[in-house]
Structure 1
Amino acid sequence: MQATIDRSEPVTAMAATQTMADTVKVFTKASDFAAIEADWRALEALVPDASYFTSFDWCECWWNWFGQDSGREFAVLAVYAGDAIQALLPLTVARSMVFSSARLMGDDTGQYADCLVRPERRGDPALARAVASGLKRLGLDRITLTNCRDDSAVAELVGSWRGGRAGSRKTWIRAAEYSNVEIRPADFDGLKVYRSSRSSSLRKGLRRRRRKLAELGDVQYKRITEPGAFAGLAQHIVRLKLEWLDDNGLHGRYLARPGLVGWMAEVMARAAASGHLHMSVMTVDGRACAAQLAFQSRVKVTGYFSAFDIALSRNAVGKLHLEDLIVDIFEHDQVLDLMPPADSYKREWGVEVMKVAAYTVPLTPWGAFVSRFYSVKTRALAKSAYLRLPQGLRAGVAAGILDFLRRIKRTLAGSAPTASPSNLKRTEG
Structure 2
Amino acid sequence: MNTIVSIDVSSAERLEVVRSADRLAAIEADWMHLWHRTDGLIFQSHAWISAWWSTVADRDQRALRIGLVWNGDRLVAVVPLTIGKRKGLRFLEWAASSYTDYGDILVAPECSLSALQDVWAQICDAGGFDIAFLNHLLPGAAVRKIFTPDTSGGIRLRPNHREEVSYRVAGQWESGAAWFAEQSKKTRQNYRRGVKTLEEAGGIKFRLLAPDEPLQPVLDRLSALKRRWLAERKRESQLFEEGAPVLAALVEALARAGVLHIFVLECDGAMVAV
TM-score using structure 1 length: 0.54
Listed one character per residue, the Cα deviations across residues 123-177 of structure 1 (whole Å, up to 9, x for unaligned) are x42232232243145335653213232322223334476223545xxx4152854
Please give the alpha-carbon distance, in whole angstroms, between the structure 2 residues aligned to 1:191 and 1:273.
25
Name the aligned partner's letter for residue 23 of structure 1.
R
Secondary structure of 1:10's counterpart equals: strand
- 1:243 lines up with 2:243 in the alignment: no
Counterpart position of 2:180: 195
Counterpart position of 1:69: 59
- 1:234 lines up with 2:224 in the alignment: no
Please give the alpha-carbon distance, in whole angstroms, between the structure 2 residues aligned to 1:65 and 1:254.
10
1:72-111 correspondence runs (5 A): 72-93=62-83, 101-111=91-101
Counterpart position of 1:267: 250
1:150-299 correspondence runs (5 A): 150-159=139-148, 162-164=151-153, 166=155, 171-172=157-158, 174=160, 176-178=162-164, 180-186=166-172, 194-214=179-199, 216-226=201-211, 229-247=214-232, 249-255=233-239, 257=241, 259-260=243-244, 262-291=245-274
Q: 1:227 to 1:60 in 2, by over 3 A?
A: farther
Name the aligned partner's letter for residue 155 of structure 1.
R
Counterpart position of 1:130: 118
Please give the alpha-carbon distance, in whole angstroms, between the structure 2 residues aligned to 1:145 and 1:29.
21
Secondary structure of 1:45's counterpart equals: helix
Give yes or no for contact 1:109–1:254 (8 Å, CA) kept in 2: no
Q: Which has the higher contact order (CA 8 A, sep 6+)?
A: 1
Give yes or no for contact 1:216–1:284 (8 Å, CA) kept in 2: yes
Please give the alpha-carbon distance, in whole angstroms, between the structure 2 residues aligned to 1:206 and 1:100.
44
Once the two structures are TM-superposed, the CA of residue 275 in structure 1 deviates from its matched residue by 0.3
Please give the alpha-carbon distance, in whole angstroms, between the structure 2 residues aligned to 1:59 and 1:160.
30
Q: 1:231 to 1:189 in 2, by over 3 A?
A: closer
Give yes or no for contact 2:118–2:153 (8 Å, CA) kept in 1: no
Counterpart position of 2:5: 8
Q: 1:259 to 1:44 in 2, by over 3 A?
A: farther
Secondary structure of 1:269's counterpart equals: helix
Q: 1:225 to 1:195 in 2, by over 3 A?
A: closer
Q: What is the root-mean-square deviation in Å for CA atoms of aligned residues?
A: 3.2
Give yes or no for contact 2:63–2:83 (8 Å, CA) kept in 1: yes
Once the two structures are TM-superposed, the CA of residue 10 in structure 1 deviates from its matched residue by 1.4
Give yes or no for contact 1:91–1:105 (8 Å, CA) kept in 2: yes
Counterpart position of 1:331: none
Instruction: Point out where structure 1 has 5 or more consecutive residues left out of the alignment.
Output: 13-18, 292-429
Instruction: Point out where structure 2 has 5 or more consecutive residues left out of the alignment.
Output: none
Equivalent position to 1:45, from 36, 61, 79: 36
Once the two structures are TM-superposed, the CA of residue 257 in structure 1 deviates from its matched residue by 4.8
Secondary structure of 2:140's counterpart equals: coil
Once the two structures are TM-superposed, the CA of residue 226 in structure 1 deviates from its matched residue by 3.9
Counterpart position of 2:24: 33
Listed one character per residue, the Cα deviations across residues 176-227 of structure 1 (whole Å, up to 9, x for unaligned) are 54353544443x7976664344333432343344245345444322222547
Listed one character per residue, the Cα deviations across residues 75-95 of structure 1 (whole Å, up to 9, x for unaligned) are 322111111111112222359
Q: 1:227 to 1:270 in 2, by over 3 A?
A: farther
Please give the alpha-carbon distance, in whole angstroms, between the structure 1 residues aligned to 2:48 and 2:60.
17
Secondary structure of 1:229's counterpart equals: coil
- Is the helix fraction higher in 1 or 2? 1
* Seq. identity, %: 21
Listed one character per residue, the Cα deviations across residues 48-73 of structure 1 (whole Å, up to 9, x for unaligned) are 2x121111111111111116634222
